[in-house]
Amino acid sequence: MLVWRASSENILQEADFCVPVWRIAALLCYLLRALNYVHRVGSGFGARNGGSPGPEDDSIYPFKVETTPEEIEDLHRRLDQTRFFPSLEDCQFHYGFNSKYLEKVVSYWRNDFNWRKQVDKLNKYPHFKTKIEGIDIHYVHVKPKNLPEGTRALPLMMVHGWPGSFYEFYGIIPLLTEPSNPDDITFEIICPSIPGYGFSEAPHKKGFDGVCAAHIFNKLMKRLGFNQYYVQGGDWGSLITTNMAQLEPNAVKGLHINFAPPGQAGLLMMLSLFFGRRFPKLFGFTEHDVKRLFPSMQKLVIDSIRETGYMHIQSTKPDTAGRGLNDSPVGLAAYILEKFSTWTDPEFKNLEDGGLERKYSLDDLLTNVMIYWTSRCIISSMRFYKENFSKGLNQPHAKIPVYVPSAVASFPNELMHSPKLWVTQKYHNLKTYTPMARGGHFAAMEEPQLLAEDVQNFVKIVEKRKKK
């Protein structure tokens, strides 16, 4: 059963603040326990038909990505039967995925893309599965090959989001497990699939949100023998790893995220919105902050509405749209790859090919799509939005500050921008806030070198190998 692992004392041990705030944090911890866990005790998310998950089997076993001729034949048959529909003239990606470029993608997928070869690439790192809370959890676990004598690798869990997968991290894994600079820290990397994504089993009951995923991933790290570890994430991964730090502040040694959407709109945030454009230095705003935030109605409201239609669908009726995507590989690819275009650079909407091949290869993009297609996980991945948003945006854990040492890599083309002032309202022990030189939402896949360097810099500070 799901068990509350964090007490108010655990969280408060990491804090350095006055007694009244301790009391508030303790109350919030109690509310989080009451509202997010009590109703789930004894009802494992892997148990079907109201049954109990029973005693937990903590065994870990190897897993291998596989394919069959029948699977590939079925895909080709569906691709051959695609019914294309023309885009409007001169619309590029403004109406969504452009039909002319989609025909090119489908042709490459059908005639040139080698899924068997990509399966071999996926299996170049060790995969495992283990059952936690009744759910089969898939993860990639990469240990350094040539660890210098007298040194130890630091465990780092990296968590993906939607519509990504563990494959997003394949470019950054060697940079962190086999660093070229002898002064760099060597990491042992664990990349899990969120339950309902990729090769992790989907929950069978309602209510599985980011806090539940965080509980399971903390439990996974403990099962792997790590008493302390670092966590990193973007998109949903940033929420899950933040929740991990809230639940287990003594175990999570450091939190690094590359997605920090604006949190609760407190007084300081509201003042900065009213006066920050005229007095940017008063709030520590940079030129980039001003560009991303003002005019606030346009940048924070109208632009957000234009790019969040998918979120409204997935937060309300995910299964309806998901049924079609689960049955059509071309529909699935268009839905996913449009996000890799716009979320990488909003200016890519002005290009007929969506700029996709400027940052990624079709092989990598289609491999991510194939993980969704072959595992049939698109519906369960979309449900994660409903589970997180159906309770509203004002959940108790959203009010709890993070006191674990934290870092934010702020990529210039990220979907939502939070200046340092806003970030510190949530992350009270912020060690680094780095305005990155380039990049967007899928940082690990688009700019693995930049992200690896920022992770290194942050962990060196926490490990006291470098001054802040």
Are 155 and 221 within 8 A, CB to CB? Answer: yes
- pLDDT at residue 140 above 70? yes
- Residue 20, pLDDT score: 42
Give catalytic status of residue 235 as yes or no: yes
- Residue 380, pLDDT score: 98
pLDDT bucket at 53, cuts 50 / 70 / 90: low
- Residue 34, pLDDT score: 39
- pLDDT at residue 262 above 60? yes
pLDDT bucket at 316, cuts 50 / 70 / 90: very high
Beta bridge partners of 452: none
- Residue 73, pLDDT score: 98
- Residue 390, pLDDT score: 86
Structure-model confidence comparison of residues 30 and 243, the more confident one = 243
Q: What is the mean pLDDT of residues 87-115?
A: 98
Low-confidence winner among 3-7, 236-240, 274-278, 450-454 (lowest mean pLDDT): 3-7
- Residue 147, pLDDT score: 87
- pLDDT at residue 28 above 70? no
- Residue 150, pLDDT score: 80
| pLDDT, tens only, 67-89 | 999 999 999 999 999 999 999 99
| pLDDT, tens only, 435-456 | 999 999 999 999 999 999 999 9
- pLDDT at residue 350 above 90? yes
- Residue 374, pLDDT score: 98
| Catalytic residue of the set 184, 235, 364, 454 | 235
Residues in the chain, total:
468
Strands 430-435 and 406-410: parallel
Spatial distance between the Cα atoms of 226 and 156, rounded to a whole number of angstroms: 10
Are 223 and 130 within 8 A, CB to CB? Answer: yes
Are 235 and 418 within 8 A, CB to CB? Answer: no
Give catalytic status of residue 364 as yes or no: no
- pLDDT at residue 4 above 80? no
Tell me the three-class secondary structure of 422-457, residue by residue.
HHHHHECCEEEEEECCCCCCCHHHHCHHHHHHHHHH
- Residue 16, pLDDT score: 36
- Residue 12, pLDDT score: 34
- pLDDT at residue 5 above 50? no
- The SS3 call for residue 34 is helix
- pLDDT at residue 45 above 90? no
Give catalytic status of residue 184 as yes or no: no
- pLDDT at residue 52 above 80? no
- pLDDT at residue 24 above 70? no
Tokens describing residue 130: 């283990």
Highest mean pLDDT among 4-8, 13-17, 421-425: 421-425
pLDDT bucket at 424, cuts 50 / 70 / 90: very high
Residue located via tokens 């005639």:
111
Q: What is the mean pLDDT of residues 352-357?
A: 98
pLDDT bucket at 39, cuts 50 / 70 / 90: very low
pLDDT bucket at 149, cuts 50 / 70 / 90: confident
| Catalytic residue of the set 397, 433, 441, 454 | 441
| Proportion of the chain above pLDDT 70, given as a percent | 88
**174: part of which helix (H) or strand (E)?**
helix 173-177
- Residue 14, pLDDT score: 37
Q: What is the mean pLDDT of residues 2-11?
A: 35
- The SS3 call for residue 366 is helix
| Catalytic residue of the set 139, 170, 385, 403 | 385
pLDDT bucket at 416, cuts 50 / 70 / 90: very high
